[in-house]
Chain A
Amino acid sequence: MVFSALIPLDFGIILVTAFLLAVIASRTGQPTVIAYLVTGLVLGPVLLDIVEVTEFIELVEELGFPMLLFLIGLEMKFDAFRSILSRVGKIALVQVVTQQLMAFLVAYFLGFGLLNSFYISMCTIFGATPVVVKMLTDKHETSSRAGRVDIGVLILQDIFMVVVLGFLAAGQISGATDLVLTLGRIIFMGVALGAVSFLASKTIESKLLGDLSDNKHAFFIQGLAWAFLFIALADILGLSLEIGGFLAGISLGQVPYSTELQEKVRPLTNLLLAVFFAGIGLSLNASELFAYWQEALIAIVILSGSAFVIMYLLTRWQDFSTETSFKSSINLVMMSEFGLVAGAVAVDRGLLTAGILGYMTLIKLITNGYAVYLIQYNDRIYRYFKPYLNVVGEEEKEPVSEDHAVVFGNSRLDEVIRPVLDERFDQVVFVEANPHEMRQLEEEGEEFVFGDPRHPEVRREAGIEDCSAVISLEEDFDLDKEMAQNLETVFIAVSDDEKEAEELMENGAEHVILEDRSVEKILREKLEAES
């Protein structure tokens, strides 16, 4: 080949393989993260050894986890957790400490030595945020009590892990004083950077994003620039890149534009993560992966089991019902990806060996293997064990939702139809992508979600899953068709094309209002009167 490859070959092989394995993973109910890890194992020294980690791949890898944490930060809405924050905070604090202790003891008694066990315990946390959040979302359980407990605990765990990452990134610790100083520096820098990002987001960045919200492309790039600013600052201050990404995200998570930004960041993050997790697999070879396979199996039984028991006891301690405690505990029995990242950083800094990373990778792979099925069928499992449990507290009830309608906004028409909707529904939620209209809705005290209705996260935030009706004024045929096909609730669209209207009805729309039909009707009436 005379021309240099347009798409770097190794990079391309990773992505194509990741796609194929992700399809298989999806079919077997496994999360895609596992597929990406296996991609690296298959392509790297463990199996085929056909891909090298080039500079380009390293660059993309480096971006993956900071972007994930940026996304996680964006998703954090403190308001959603206010009512249970103090209880969840206590649970998380005790859970983290006890899990770390368990992990340390297990590692120590498995023969890893004192220092290694210490580092292993720092990297071993149970509760995989991206996987659990995704699965809860797919099951519509994020707003259930158990779901909110899990998400709250995961958020606080992630904050803890961010500090751990920073600590590991600092490299070798020479003694207790160094340990204290390093931790202190990280916490101080982290808090300072966090305060700066928080203040700046409320003032400057919120305004900048608002100014750019007319232009979706510039809006997104500005959001990314914000993320990268803090990623770079974190790097310069000797904190980990991930801390920077997280702080940037959490600071923007509280402004109205965060949902729209989330939707834009998510696909990019998914792509970068595929390469990131493949990279972890690529960095291992067979001997390293299976160096401690027996120890891994023993650790899984003890740690996964104790993770469930600890979480269950702690949630019961905080007076959550039996059902909530059971379900929230069973959701958190898989090892966190954070642990792998932390492990990879520790290996990079010479704190752990690749074999120990292999040990942690095995734990991750295997716990993920069964944990996704536990989450998927947590209802059934609870019902099976219910007779044997001391059932205490209220049964989980589905939150009673108001009779509400969701309107995909159109500035021209939504004011026209608002009187009809206000009369018919208790609440109307507008999904509005136009920032001027959004501000007007805000001034008028209307419920709204800022964002593009094409984005699933935006629709979910508008409560599309449990609304009584969705009215689309967008006159976007592709969007309307997707809604008509997939929505289980009443869907009404507006169209200016008869053929498209027919197709929407065939695809499941309850009704399509032909705008032009009403015009034609009026014209006919007037002309007939005139004649």
Chain B
Amino acid sequence: MIISISLALMIAGTLLVILNRTDIPEIPIYLGSGLLLTALVSIAQSRDIISHEFIEAEIMREIALLGLSILVFYSTSGRILDPKSSTAIKSFKASMWLSLVSFAGITGLSLYFGFNSLESLFFGVTASLGSTLLDSGLVKEEARKNHIYGWITEDIDFFDDLFGIVVLTLILAYVGGIAPFTGLMVSLGLILSTVVLREHFSSLIMRVTGGENELVLLSGIATLISLVWVTESTGVSALAGIYAAGLLLIDTELGFRVRERFTAVKDFFTALSFISIGYLLTLPGLRYLAVATGLVIFASFIRPLLSTQVLRLQGYDLRTSFMASVQSSQISEIVVVGSLLIAPLTQSPVFETVAIGFAATTLIAHLIEDREQYIFDKLFSEYELDSEKSFVPNDIEDHVILAGYDWKTKGLENIVDKDVIVADYSLERVQDAEERGLPHLLADLHSDEAWEKLEVEKASVIVSAVDDNDLIDKIEGLDVDAEKILLSSGSEEFEDELREMLAEALKN
């Protein structure tokens, strides 16, 4: 098997280099490597260059399962869990509504088209879960910067995963012949206890390991293995165990340290896992290919649009709703794990269908990445931010416009004795301004209409500290008499100030 793994990695390494400049993400490349490996091995076997035991399918399956488990564990452990977040409740409602409707709809459709109950349920759960496998880093970054759609996406993903774990546990329990209710109770009990106990667990393990890198790494693996065993020993599938293991590390010092050491292990096994999946993949029949296509269309296009609407109904503006919805438009890796677990127990090509859908949605999600604003502008070119969220007095003049209302500019209204209007695209910030009794506009400041509404012709000063070069250029390009106080991280005054601060710090 060493030579076969070497071959697999060499193919992957070669494809990574060739396709590096095309910006195709790694996962489809690994899947492609697996397919290429299948082709090469078949050719070599047909010419008797290698034996039929050159690659053992069962070991590939074990590697695929192990790698995916590590991936789900790693992704889950990196989630941001903040139940106090103002977005949590609305996201929960949105996620539950969307998941239930998607699940019921797709399951019903599948049954209607003649698929059996197991297949229909699996297709239903596939459609109901989104994933941010590719974007998870970016989403966290947006959440950190307090961009509201980052938080919404994090919350929705969390609730989606929970929904998926519950449903898949029920399905797998049913297939496994144990009472679904028992399986559900065990899983939920485990998940709840990990969330409650995580800080204690983290302190204990950090004390015991002394923070040593090697021990921390082993503790991560041991945690995953132990929780998987707990679920497997009760007859419940391992999915809940993997998820609970990840939850046990969320937002803890141990979690941070484990992730730091675990990245390489995760990368290695992820690569092998998806190569194995590619290797194991066979083309299902036309009916199932049609299902895969349908799932891709639903996950990549229909679900984000539905989600946008649901979030709007929760009170978010269109842009925020769209940006949050489009982030998790991939089929979830949790479903792929579930389908792999069930594969030996059924003749149905559920695994193949889900895997193909997963690969395709990963590619599409990557194409959309960094182009969300462009797509939004194209789809909603007539968009105007809801005027009910704005208040600009008709007679305002000689005023100060605060373009972007974060903590750099908050409070500036106290040092000017003129009227101040706050303009921002974030609902929360605009609401903050409203609570302070300031005129406000919920607007996309890149648009000319926004500046018209701000009565920029009559303004005396425009202030902006938003780190957005396009916006800075936009404001500088406005042909108005207003004084423009614009500061970004590239400004010379800012750089001088920073140097002064550093010199002061070093002197002390």
**Contacts A62-B2, A420-B503, A420-B506; A521 near B229 (Cβ below 8 A):** no
Asked if A513 is at the interface (CB within 8 A of a chain B CB), the reply is yes
Asked whether B487 lies within 8 Å of A519 as measured between CB atoms, the reply is: yes
Asked if A1 is at the interface (CB within 8 A of a chain B CB), the reply is yes
**Contacts A3-B238, A218-B20; A225 near B267 (Cβ below 8 A):** no
Q: Give the contact stretch, choosing among A79-87, A261-269, A328-336, A355-363.
A: A261-269
Contact partner of A211 (CB less than 8 A), chosen from B20, B65, B408, is B20
Asked if B476 is at the interface (CB within 8 A of a chain A CB), the reply is no
Asked if A380 is at the interface (CB within 8 A of a chain B CB), the reply is no
Asked if B470 is at the interface (CB within 8 A of a chain A CB), the reply is no
**Contacts A15-B222, A26-B215, A531-B417; A228 near B6 (Cβ below 8 A):** yes
Asked whether A523 lies within 8 Å of B344 as measured between CB atoms, the reply is: no
Asked whether A228 lies within 8 Å of B497 as measured between CB atoms, the reply is: no
How far apart are the CA atoms of A513 and B497 in the complex, in Å? 10
Q: Give the contact stretch, choosing among A111-119, A317-325, A394-402, A410-418.
A: A410-418
Asked if A78 is at the interface (CB within 8 A of a chain B CB), the reply is no
Asked if B237 is at the interface (CB within 8 A of a chain A CB), the reply is yes
Asked whether B498 lies within 8 Å of A225 as measured between CB atoms, the reply is: no
Contact partner of B13 (CB less than 8 A), chosen from A222, A265, A511, is A222
Residues in B whose Cβ lies below 8 Å from that of A521? 497
Q: Give the contact stretch, choosing among A16-24, A43-51, A156-164, A299-307.
A: A16-24
**Contacts A2-B175, A3-B172, A420-B502; A531 near B12 (Cβ below 8 A):** no
How far apart are the CA atoms of A15 and B412 in the complex, in Å? 58
Within 8 A of B (CB), among A6-54: 6-8, 12, 15-16, 18-20, 22-23, 26, 32
Asked whether B20 lies within 8 Å of A8 as measured between CB atoms, the reply is: no
Asked if A110 is at the interface (CB within 8 A of a chain B CB), the reply is no
**Contacts A2-B345, A16-B225, A220-B267; A523 near B218 (Cβ below 8 A):** no
Q: Could you tell me the distance in whole angstroms from the C-beta of A428 to the nearest C-beta in chain B? A: 12
Asked whether B228 lies within 8 Å of A7 as measured between CB atoms, the reply is: yes
Asked if A75 is at the interface (CB within 8 A of a chain B CB), the reply is no
Asked whether A518 lies within 8 Å of B412 as measured between CB atoms, the reply is: no
How far apart are the CA atoms of A2 and B172 in the complex, in Å? 10
- In the complex, the chain A residue whose C-beta lies closest to that of B241 is A6
How far apart are the CA atoms of A523 and B486 in the complex, in Å? 8
Residues in B whose Cβ lies below 8 Å from that of A179? none
Asked whether A212 lies within 8 Å of B221 as measured between CB atoms, the reply is: no
Most A CB contacts (10 A, CB to CB) among B13, B416, B417 go to B13
Residues in A whose Cβ lies below 8 Å from that of B228? 6-7, 12
Asked whether A454 lies within 8 Å of B506 as measured between CB atoms, the reply is: no
The 8 A CB mask of B205-249 against A (1 = contact, 0 = none) is 000111011110111011011101100110101100110000000
Residues in B whose Cβ lies below 8 Å from that of A264? 263-264, 267
Asked whether B213 lies within 8 Å of A522 as measured between CB atoms, the reply is: no
Asked if B56 is at the interface (CB within 8 A of a chain A CB), the reply is yes
Residues in A whose Cβ lies below 8 Å from that of B225? 7, 12, 15-16
Contact partner of B210 (CB less than 8 A), chosen from A16, A26, A32, A271, is A26
The 8 A CB mask of A516-531 against B (1 = contact, 0 = none) is 1011111110111011
Asked whether A267 lies within 8 Å of B62 as measured between CB atoms, the reply is: no
Asked whether A412 lies within 8 Å of B222 as measured between CB atoms, the reply is: no
Residues in B whose Cβ lies below 8 Å from that of A217? 26, 267
Q: Could you tell me the distance in whole angstroms from the C-beta of B448 to the nearest C-beta in chain A? A: 25
Q: Give the contact stretch, choosing among A144-152, A229-237, A431-439.
A: A229-237
Asked whether B505 lies within 8 Å of A492 as measured between CB atoms, the reply is: yes
The 8 A CB mask of A425-468 against B (1 = contact, 0 = none) is 00000000000000000000000000000101000000000000
Asked whether A527 lies within 8 Å of B416 as measured between CB atoms, the reply is: yes
Within 8 A of A (CB), among B1-53: 1-3, 5-7, 9-10, 12-14, 16-17, 20, 26
Asked if A353 is at the interface (CB within 8 A of a chain B CB), the reply is no
Asked if B380 is at the interface (CB within 8 A of a chain A CB), the reply is no
Asked if B446 is at the interface (CB within 8 A of a chain A CB), the reply is no
Asked whether A265 lies within 8 Å of B20 as measured between CB atoms, the reply is: no
Asked if B59 is at the interface (CB within 8 A of a chain A CB), the reply is yes
By a beta-carbon cutoff of 8 Å, the part of chain B in contact with chain A is 1-3, 5-7, 9-10, 12-14, 16-17, 20, 26, 56, 59, 62, 65-66, 69, 172, 175-177, 208-210, 212-215, 217-219, 221-222, 224-226, 228-229, 232-233, 235, 237-238, 241-242, 256, 260-265, 267-268, 271, 341, 344-345, 400, 406-409, 412, 415-418, 461, 463, 465, 483, 485, 487, 489-491, 493-495, 497-499, 501-503, 505-506, 508
A-B contact pairs, 28 of them (CB 8 A): A3-B172, A3-B345, A6-B232, A15-B218, A56-B59, A56-B62, A62-B2, A208-B17, A211-B20, A220-B264, A221-B13, A222-B13, A225-B14, A228-B6, A264-B264, A264-B267, A265-B264, A268-B268, A413-B489, A471-B502, A510-B505, A513-B498, A513-B505, A515-B489, A516-B407, A526-B485, A527-B416, A528-B415
Given A19-B222, A215-B26: 20 more A-B contacts, CB < 8 Å: A2-B235, A3-B172, A5-B232, A6-B66, A7-B229, A19-B219, A23-B208, A218-B20, A221-B267, A222-B17, A267-B261, A478-B256, A511-B505, A516-B407, A519-B487, A519-B494, A527-B463, A530-B483, A531-B415, A531-B418
